[in-house]
Chains A and B, each alone.
Chain A
């Protein structure tokens, strides 16, 4: 049943998806950044992936297209998950936002933005969420040193 659903998704999205693999029980699709919003809409409206689980990014500093932006979706009806990956470069790390489709995208895109610097076009609320005002840099990038602190209150003594 899961395999049938995955096969349907693969055939329906074959035009926009560069690569589709089933690994560890999840269908992993790779796509261009411009197609991500359309794929998410198709997954939600046609295939019943009604819960947006997560968006995060992976930093590969030696690659041209430096960041992998990774989305996970879940279907509460069929109990399966789908992963959508896309690659963006450090010079233009922009992807379309999923806020019109899922309310939970708002806070998760904020976190991805402040940690990696991925810009979600259309999300007007990209304020720092886990970090604070005045923090310079994107700490989860590989070139941000782990110990570099930016204290808000000056140390005493």
Chain B
């Protein structure tokens, strides 16, 4: 018989739920998460259930709040690029380039054409990786393990390919202010071609398995429905807004990088339910592959870093021979690039929606403030609109289709 006085004290509850009593007779309040297989990381949902029906939910994020903004205030403009990577870790290159573009706007420099095409190509490649992950996880949670294995296999080829370019599989730190870290290695584009062809095969298989599958349609159609005006009011952007029927895409509406020169469509859904979100992402995979093939033909040889002493590291052979380059290199590394004072908000179309960086500079090598407008965080504020009124088992596919990425949501 254990001694009562040696019982360990109860652990503190880190949240305060919005409701502790039910509204309906006989309802139960249930806690889902934050360590849960189907919440894609660390989200806690306090749900009031009447039988199997969800009456209302209270979504708690913040279990992955790692202090990104505070860390950024004590690192130079270049040193914080690894932190930026780990925001939306499924499509890390898009975060890199969105941040670098914001700082380049403050510096008022324009990147070289080759860098522009490469950044566009790699943004689309990252978007493919993110959509593959989202669809694979969503399908796995419905029980379609085969589709998960197919998509994660092709995603692994993408990771190995990006590791050949950047050195890392998941979080790359490849973007630099004023350009990129280094140019493409030999044979990279041939391998890219092979991977895109294999991806066609794998994606077709997943379409065949799932698209007209009775169980899949029953579980996803008319579940988690969102109307367009509600979506805009609650701040939804990206595939979720497009699934409600409006073709809002920052790549078409406010073109940046090389998107104005590319020919692509913006897939939209019909009803704004889970099935539409799945299909919009699958179609976006096709559009991204189409864009990458166009960009592979448009790439011309040339420099990838803009020739500006304020942010670009000088070439090594000059650093070792000339004193000006040595001092320039030293200052850039130790103090950081001196970005002129000012503020800027720059947004790109991330895999989940509008990824915006609001940067305030006081003229030094260290930012005064770096704020991320992350799509996942805003979606968490509005996701209860898609969960209330449906069944408990519908929470899983709805959450999977929202693609909440913890690093981006909690920063």
- The stretch of B84-92, B174-182, B213-221, B367-375 that contacts the partner chain: B367-375
Q: Is the CB of B16 within 8 A of A133?
A: yes
Q: Given A54-B356, A54-B358, is A79 in contact with B14 using a C-beta cutoff of 8 Å?
A: no
A115-146 interface bits toward B, Cβ cutoff 8 Å, 1 = contact, 0 = none: 10000000001011111111000011000101
Minimum Cβ distance to chain B for residue A128 (Å): 7
- In the docked arrangement, what's the CA distance between A127 and B13, Å? 14
Minimum Cβ distance to chain A for residue B379 (Å): 9
Query: Within the complex, which residue of A81, A102, A131 is in contact with B235, where a contact is CB–CB below 8 Å?
Result: A102
Minimum Cβ distance to chain B for residue A8 (Å): 19
| Interface residue tally on B, bucketed by range | 35 or more
The verdict on B15 contacting chain A, using a C-beta distance below 8 Å, is yes
Q: Is the CB of A107 within 8 A of B381?
A: yes
A48-91 interface bits toward B, Cβ cutoff 8 Å, 1 = contact, 0 = none: 00111110101100000000001010101001010100000000
- In the docked arrangement, what's the CA distance between A130 and B371, Å? 14
Minimum Cβ distance to chain B for residue A151 (Å): 10
Q: Given A24-B346, A72-B358, is A103 in contact with B69 using a C-beta cutoff of 8 Å?
A: no
The verdict on B70 contacting chain A, using a C-beta distance below 8 Å, is yes
A13-38 interface bits toward B, Cβ cutoff 8 Å, 1 = contact, 0 = none: 00000000001101000000000000
Q: For chain B, residues 50 to 74, give those with C-beta under 8 angstroms from any C-beta of chain A.
A: 60-62, 65, 67, 69-71, 73-74
The verdict on A4 contacting chain B, using a C-beta distance below 8 Å, is no
Enumerate chain A residues within 8 angstroms of B5, measured Cβ to Cβ.
none
- The stretch of B118-126, B134-142, B246-254 that contacts the partner chain: B246-254
Q: Is the CB of B248 within 8 A of A130?
A: no
The verdict on B321 contacting chain A, using a C-beta distance below 8 Å, is no
Query: Within the complex, which residue of A23, A52, A53, A76 is in contact with B248, where a contact is CB–CB below 8 Å?
Result: A76
Minimum Cβ distance to chain B for residue A39 (Å): 17
The verdict on B360 contacting chain A, using a C-beta distance below 8 Å, is yes
Q: Is the CB of A53 within 8 A of B234?
A: no
Q: Is the CB of A53 within 8 A of B67?
A: no
Q: Is the CB of A103 within 8 A of B381?
A: yes
- In the docked arrangement, what's the CA distance between A139 and B360, Å? 18
Q: Is the CB of A58 within 8 A of B381?
A: no
Enumerate chain A residues within 8 angstroms of B378, measured Cβ to Cβ.
104, 107-108
- In the docked arrangement, what's the CA distance between A76 and B14, Å? 37
The verdict on B172 contacting chain A, using a C-beta distance below 8 Å, is no
Enumerate chain B residues within 8 angstroms of A130, measured Cβ to Cβ.
61-62, 65, 410-411
Q: Is the CB of B11 within 8 A of A153?
A: yes
Enumerate chain B residues within 8 angstroms of A10, measured Cβ to Cβ.
none
Enumerate chain B residues within 8 angstroms of A79, measured Cβ to Cβ.
253-254
Q: Is the CB of B14 within 8 A of A152?
A: yes
- In the docked arrangement, what's the CA distance between A156 and B213, Å? 52
Q: Given A76-B246, A133-B15, A133-B16, is A56 in contact with B345 using a C-beta cutoff of 8 Å?
A: no
Q: Is the CB of A132 within 8 A of B62?
A: yes
The verdict on B12 contacting chain A, using a C-beta distance below 8 Å, is yes
Q: Given A51-B235, A76-B232, is A104 in contact with B381 using a C-beta cutoff of 8 Å?
A: yes
Minimum Cβ distance to chain B for residue A36 (Å): 17
Enumerate chain B residues within 8 angstroms of A106, measured Cβ to Cβ.
381
- Nearest residue in B to A135 (C-beta to C-beta)? B14
Q: Is the CB of B246 within 8 A of A104?
A: no
Q: Is the CB of B342 within 8 A of A23?
A: yes
Minimum Cβ distance to chain B for residue A96 (Å): 18
Enumerate chain B residues within 8 angstroms of A131, measured Cβ to Cβ.
62, 65
Query: Within the complex, which residue of A70, A152, A153 is in contact with B358, where a contact is CB–CB below 8 Å?
Result: A70
Q: Is the CB of B12 within 8 A of A24?
A: no
* Residue of A56, A70, A104 most packed against chain B (CB within 10 A): A104
Enumerate chain B residues within 8 angstroms of A76, measured Cβ to Cβ.
232, 246, 248
Enumerate chain B residues within 8 angstroms of A115, measured Cβ to Cβ.
69
- In the docked arrangement, what's the CA distance between A108 and B248, Å? 22
23 residue pairs from A and B, CB less than 8 Å apart: A50-B232, A53-B347, A53-B373, A54-B345, A58-B360, A58-B368, A72-B358, A72-B373, A79-B254, A81-B347, A102-B234, A103-B385, A104-B233, A104-B234, A104-B378, A128-B15, A128-B16, A129-B61, A130-B411, A131-B62, A133-B12, A146-B71, A146-B73
Q: Which 3 A-B pairs have the closest CB atoms?
A: A104-B235, A107-B381, A132-B14
